[in-house]
Amino acid sequence: MKAADVRAKSVDQLNDELVKLKKEQFNLRFQAATGQLEKTGRVTEVRRDIARIKTVLREKAQAGK
């Protein structure tokens, strides 16, 4: 996910995407703990996507004030 894609979405869409990514992150952590994780790079990718979304949400909140 690119930062430009994230900035193009609304706050509601970003919150929905954030919830989805947090669930995926939980599932990936669970798979890693049980030794079933195949794509280890996906963990980092999801973490960075969550950070991007949180950053853009914070920017939008600051712009709204």
Contact of 54 with 15, CB cutoff 8 Å: no
The domain tally of the chain equals 1
Q: What is the pLDDT of residue 44?
A: 97
CA 45: distance to chain centroid? 8
DSSP-derived 3-state class of residue 65: coil
Structural domain range at position 35:
3-64
Q: What is the pLDDT of residue 27?
A: 97
Quick check: pTM over 0.85?
yes
Radius of gyration for the chain, computed over Cα atoms and rounded to the nearest angstrom:
14
Give the torsion sign (CA, 21, 9, 2, 61): negative
Would you place residue 65 in the very low, low, confident or very high pLDDT band (cuts 50, 70, 90)? confident
- For 15-46, how does the pLDDT look when each residue is reduced to its tens digit (9 = 90+)? 999 999 999 999 999 999 999 999 999 999 99
What is the rounded CA–CA span in Å between residue 41 and residue 45? 6
Can you give the CATH number for the domain in which 50 is found? Answer: 1.10.287.310
